[in-house]
Each structure stands twice: as structure tokens, then as C-alpha cells.
Structure 1
Amino acid sequence: MAQNVNAPQAQYHNAKQWEIALFSLNNSASNLYLFAFGFLTYYATGIAGFATFTVSSLLGAARLFDGLIDPMIGVIMDHIDTKWGRFRPIMLISNIGLLLSFALLFSTHQFEGSLKYGIYFVGLIFHKIVYSFQQTVTKAAQPALTNNPKQRPLFSIYDTIFSSIGIFAVGQMIVANWLSPRHGGEFNLAFFTEFIIGICVISFVLTILAMIGISRKDNQAFFGLGESTVETKSIKDYWSVIKGNGPLQILALTSALVKFLTTLIGDQVFVVLVFGIILGNYGISGTLGLIQIIPNLLIVAGFTTIASRTSLKNAYVLSLITMLTSVALMGVILFTSADTREIFANGGLAMVLFSIGYIGFKIAGTYPSSVVLTMAADISDYETARSGRFVSGLIGTIFSLTDSISTSLAPIVIGWLMIGIGYTDGYPGPDEALSPALFTAGTILLIIVPAILGSIALFLISRYPLNKQKMIDVQAQISARKG
């Protein structure tokens, strides 16, 4: 891997390509549960018998609670030191915890009365805690994996292949075009039994592979200044990190807005509303997921090239511009179509343009959530250069905090929107007839909200200071402090 000619070779500790590829599977392992979590609302209302308001409120409360305890998780992570390293024990234990949480959540239909509600809420809280641990490792271990600015963007390529494509695109295709039809097009108990077992087994295998990928770098020598790292003990120390790290503040807020959008468009109620009802064919969601595989690779490869040659910030900005353009294109098609259910039924230019818009929206909208994992490593290095502290766990969970707060709003927004148009006892299914109220709700979620939040995110990221030259200076400072 070529090095930056403006910086000394000694500044960088490189990772092997296979190490970056395998470690990216940790994000895939946790994203499998995130993908499956999008179906939980249908299980809760259709099988467990909860009301729409109850489900959206409990989901929101659990995510909010998770967000509030995330900084504590980061502090705990920063103080873990075992003979197996810092990150690998957390990855293994948290993934087993995720398996147990799903076993609990998807068995609540077997209980009655207040016990059912209690078990469901406890399952949600436990799930969010163990999910945060494994997901935070993906961010916290990035500085140890590699500090080479030309290598760090490569993580996004592998994450796109394994997560954006392998899980969210191919996963949606499998559910919509194979698993759902296999069970009569219904999200019934047989569907969830088969679905959840597959999720748990695959996620565990991916976690083991990710542990292999980080094994060489999971030691003190690659943590900040190594033995010279300034110890962070008190609440005052941690507060000084949060208060004094401007890039952390900007990126955490920006990523929270984008994470809200990705959570929104990944929720199965959203997918059913847009494809099953407004466009009249739920299977299209899986088809477009398959079609987007090649464009996804090409576009993310382009973003990665920009990130390697210029900065991660520039790639982030371009992805937001692409997302906003795609949203505008979908809006034009939907609002100018006499009958949106005929867009894909009749084919033609409208179908092509909407498909381009949706695929662009999905790719460009999810890329920031991937690249922020490596941008968090830049922020961790910036903090090391600034204060001598290595607190990648805390920094990772600050992102988890803002993510949890923002994503806690996604099911609440969807739930309240559905309640507002009359769906108080359950969510609309793929065969629901299109009504003006459902069309309005769908366009609010697909067009209006992304346009507003995407514009705010673009404004914020334009003020992010860690560009190419700044990161060269940061690595030079760290190298000098190491002696």
C-alpha cells in the first residue's frame, strides 16, 4: 500500500488487507440484528398482540435508555485489559448476548398479561446494551487497526460489500422474494422462527471471523501512545475530552441525523408502505436491492477513491449531495404520477427514474453511516494528539449515544404517523389498499424528512475541520509524542 509522501513512513502502522476485510464483518454481525430488528414491530403487533402505540413507545424508550448508558459502556471498554486483548472478549460476549436477547424478544407471545410486557421491555433493554457493546467495538478498534489515511477508507469498501449489499440489499431480496412468499406472504410465527435462527447463526460466524481479523492489532502497542498514553480516570477527564473535541461534536450530531434516516428507510413498516402500498408491489424492494449491488460497489468505490486522495470529509459531503439529488428525483416522479401503483406495473421512463433515485438514495444515504466508523478513528487520533489520551471506546459510544437518541425517534415517528392516519391496532400490511392518507404518510417519510434532515447534515459537515492536511499534522504529532 502506497504511503503518503508528505509524512514519514514511521508514522503509520498498517493493517493487512485481509485483516481490514475480516474485521469489517464485526459491523456486519451487529447489522444482521439491526436488519432483523426492523421486523420486530410486525412480530409484536401481529403475533405477540401488542398495540401500535405500545410497540412504538417501548421501542423508543429502550433506545433512549440505551443512548443514556452508552457513555458508560465506552468508559468500561476503555478500561478493559485481558490476555485476549480489549476488543475480542467484548465481541464474543456481546454477540452471545444478542442471541439471547432475540430468544427472549421473539418468545414473548408465550406469556400473558403484565408479564408479557415486562419480558418484552427487559428483552429490549438487554438487546440494546449488548448491541451497543458489539457495535461500539467497530468504531473503537479502528485506530488500532490502522492509522494510515490511505488504508482507513478501505474499510468502507468491505463494509459496503458485506453490510450494505450482503445484509441490507441481499437480505431484503431474500425476505421479500423468497422467505416471505415461502410462508404465504405473511410475517407469521413460522416465518420468524426460520428468519431469527438464520440471523443468529450467521451473526455468530461473522463475529468469530472479525475476531480473527483484529487479533494481531488488539494489544496495547497500537492503543494511542502505547505505554506513554495519558491515563483517563475521572469524570472530569472524560468531560474534558467531550468538551474540547470540536470534530467529535460536529460529526456526532451530523451522523445522528443521517442514522435517523437510515433507520427510517430500513424499517419494514417504511418498506411495506412505500413498495407494498404506494408502488403496489412489495417484491420490488427485493428486486431493487439486487439491482443496486453493482451500482453500490461502483459508487462506494468512487467515494473511497475520493476519501483516499483527498479526505473522508469530502467523500461524506459528496454522498449527502448525491442523497439529496436522489430524493428530489423520487419526489418528482411520485408527485407527477397519476397513479403511483402503475409506475412499476407499466414500466417506462418513470420506473427507470424512480429506480435510479431510490438506489441512489439507499447507497448515498447509507454510506455516511459506514464511513463515520473510520472518521471516528480520525477523531480518536486527533484526541490523542491533542491530549495524549486514547479513549476510542468513549468516542465510539458518543456516536452510539447520539445514534440511539436519533434512532429511538424513528419507530416513534412511524408509529405516531400510523396512529395519526387511523392504524391504532396494527401496522398496514403489503396488501393494504392505497389511500390519500397512506400516500401522504409515505411521501413524508420518503421525501420530506430526508430532504430536511439531509440539508441540515450537509450544513454541519461542511464545518468539520479534519481534512487531509490536518490529519497529516495529527499523525506527525502522535509520532513525535511517541518519540
Structure 2
Amino acid sequence: GQKASLMRYVSVALVCYVGVLVLLMLWGKGDGFTLSIMGENGLALNLYTVLFILLFGVGYGAYYATADMPIPMVADCSDYETYQSGKYIPGIMGTLFSLVDKLVSSLSATVVGVAVSFIGLESLPTQYDPYTPGMNMVVIVLFCVIPMVAWAATLIAMKGYSLTGEKMKEIQAINACRRDAVANGMKLEEAMEKYVTIDQLPAEYRA
């Protein structure tokens, strides 16, 4: 089911980014707490570097794997609304998802601008701007803390999401049975009252 997959990958991303956050907070605390790949004598990997690459790689990969998971869940929600009310509204569901997605995306520059304003910058920094005290903390918050809060909110929200893979099979079977019943002359209200659970369906729909 989409719910199980989303929660699994989000959990992996959250755990890995907790590790990344700890490593970033330890940055520069000693000789062993810096990234080191190549030295004067060739390869010079240290444990800090290995852990950072491993945690960041797995965490970012898990996060990226969830990028398209909500899209089929929109269709599931549309099917669930049809099951609940009899109304077929995939367009409304898709529009709501697109609206929220674009709204959040459009706020990204605003969030960055507000964050850098806390350290006294009047414009977004570029690669040519000198280092400003507090910049490392701003980067840690934007890079780790905000995504972690979003993932935690996702996990909390998914606790109340009841559309598992098994539940969706039942809903789709009931919707198909009601649709065929209406096509054969039964009123929609009557079909919705007659076919509510999987046990009430004819045998061919339960297969």
C-alpha cells in the first residue's frame, strides 16, 4: 500500500537526517570532525566523512523516493470519496493537491529570506558574500530541521490515514459493483445502501 511505503521511507529519511544533524552540530569540534576524502598522501577518509556520506546518501535517497508517492494517493482519496458520497470528483482532488503543492513550493524563497534576516542579512547570500556569523546555524535549520519537522508531521498525519492497500481493494470492488448496478437501472442511493461492505457484494466482485 502507498501508506506503508510512504511511512517506511519517510521514517528512514527522518532517522538518517537526525544523524546528519548530529554530525553537523559536531562539525569542527576537533580534527576528526571534518570532512576528509583526499589528503597529501592520497585517500584520507575518516569516520566522520564515512558516516556523513552514508547517512546523507541513504536519507536523501529515502526522501527522494517519496517524491511521487502522494500522486496515486490522490486517486485513492478520489475513490474513497466516491465510496462515501457516490460523487466522482478526481478533478477536485487533483486541483487541491496541486494547489497545496504549489503554495508550499512558492513559500520556499520566503522561508529562506526570513531565516537569513535573523542573522542581519538584507538579501539572499551568494557565493561571493563573506561568511556571516550564524550562517552555519541557518543552514542547519533549513537543511535538516525544517525537513525533519515536515517528515514528523507526515508520520503523524498518516496515523489517521485509513486507506491501506487492503482497504483500497475493498473500496474499488464496492465502487465497481455500485457502478454496474446503476448502469443496469438501479438508483445510486439504492446501490449505496445495498452495497456497503465487501461481504454484501456478488461473488464475482469479491474475487
35, 44, 61: which one pairs with 1:343?
A: 35
Give the letter for the 1:394 counterpart.
Answer: I
The answer to whether 1:462 aligns with 2:159 is: yes
User: Structure 2 matches for 1:403-414, cutoff 5 A?
Assistant: 403-414=101-112
Q: Distance in 2 between matches of 1:342 and 1:416?
A: 29
Q: Which residue of 1 aligns with 2:78?
A: 380
Deviations 1:123-164 (A, max 9, x none): xxxxxxxxxxxxxxxxxxxxxxxxxxxxxxxxxxxxxxxxxx
Q: Distance in 2 between matches of 1:468 and 1:415?
A: 41
What 5-or-longer segments of structure 2 have no aligned partner?
Answer: 39-44, 181-207
Return the offset for 1:329.
1.1
Return the offset for 1:337.
2.3
Give the letter for the 1:332 counterpart.
Answer: V
Q: Which residue of 1 aligns with 2:115?
A: 417
RMSD: 2.3
Q: Which residue of 2 aligns with 1:315?
A: 5
Return the offset for 1:345.
5.3
Q: Distance in 2 between matches of 1:377 and 1:482?
A: 17
Q: Distance in 2 between matches of 1:376 and 1:456?
A: 18
Classify the secondary structure of the residue corresponding to 2:126: coil
User: Normalization by structure 1: what TM-score?
Assistant: 0.33
User: Structure 2 matches for 1:136-147, cutoff 5 A?
Assistant: none
Q: Which residue of 1 aligns with 2:21?
A: 331
Deviations 1:350-387 (A, max 9, x none): 12211222222322223333110111111112222233
Q: Which residue of 2 aligns with 1:137?
A: none
User: Structure 2 matches for 1:104-183, cutoff 5 A?
Assistant: none
Asked whether the 8 Å contact 1:317–1:462 carries over to 2, the reply is: no
User: Structure 2 matches for 1:208-219, cutoff 5 A?
Assistant: none
Q: Distance in 1 between matches of 2:126 and 2:164?
A: 46
Q: Which residue of 2 aligns with 1:398?
A: 96
Larger Rg belongs to: 2
Deviations 1:46-68 (A, max 9, x none): xxxxxxxxxxxxxxxxxxxxxxx
Q: Distance in 2 between matches of 1:358 and 1:432?
A: 26
Asked whether the 8 Å contact 1:312–1:375 carries over to 2, the reply is: yes
Return the offset for 1:332.
1.7
Give the letter for the 2:17 counterpart.
Answer: V
Q: Which residue of 2 aligns with 1:438?
A: 135
Q: Distance in 1 between matches of 2:138 and 2:166?
A: 45
Q: Distance in 2 between matches of 1:473 and 1:479?
A: 10
Q: Distance in 2 between matches of 1:433 and 1:387?
A: 59
User: Structure 2 matches for 1:21-420, cutoff 5 A?
Assistant: 311-338=1-28, 342-344=34-36, 347-420=45-118
User: Normalization by structure 2: what TM-score?
Assistant: 0.73
Give the letter for the 1:443 counterpart.
Answer: I
Asked whether the 8 Å contact 1:327–1:451 carries over to 2, the reply is: yes
Q: Distance in 1 between matches of 2:90 and 2:54?
A: 38
Aligned residues: 172
Q: Distance in 2 between matches of 1:460 and 1:437?
A: 33
Return the offset for 1:435.
4.4
Q: Which residue of 1 aligns with 2:168?
A: 471
Asked whether the 8 Å contact 2:13–2:63 carries over to 1, the reply is: yes
Asked whether the 8 Å contact 1:327–1:358 carries over to 2, the reply is: yes
Asked whether the 8 Å contact 1:376–1:396 carries over to 2, the reply is: yes
Classify the secondary structure of the residue corresponding to 2:134: helix
Asked whether the 8 Å contact 2:119–2:132 carries over to 1, the reply is: no
Classify the secondary structure of the residue corresponding to 1:343: coil
More helix by share: 1
Give the letter for the 1:358 counterpart.
Answer: F
Q: Distance in 1 between matches of 2:23 and 2:151?
A: 19
Asked whether the 8 Å contact 1:380–1:392 carries over to 2, the reply is: yes
What 5-or-longer segments of structure 1 have no aligned partner?
Answer: 1-310
Q: Distance in 2 between matches of 1:363 and 1:379?
A: 26
Q: Which residue of 1 aligns with 2:195?
A: none
Classify the secondary structure of the residue corresponding to 1:369: coil
Return the offset for 1:412.
0.7
The answer to whether 1:452 aligns with 2:142 is: no
Return the offset for 1:447.
2.1
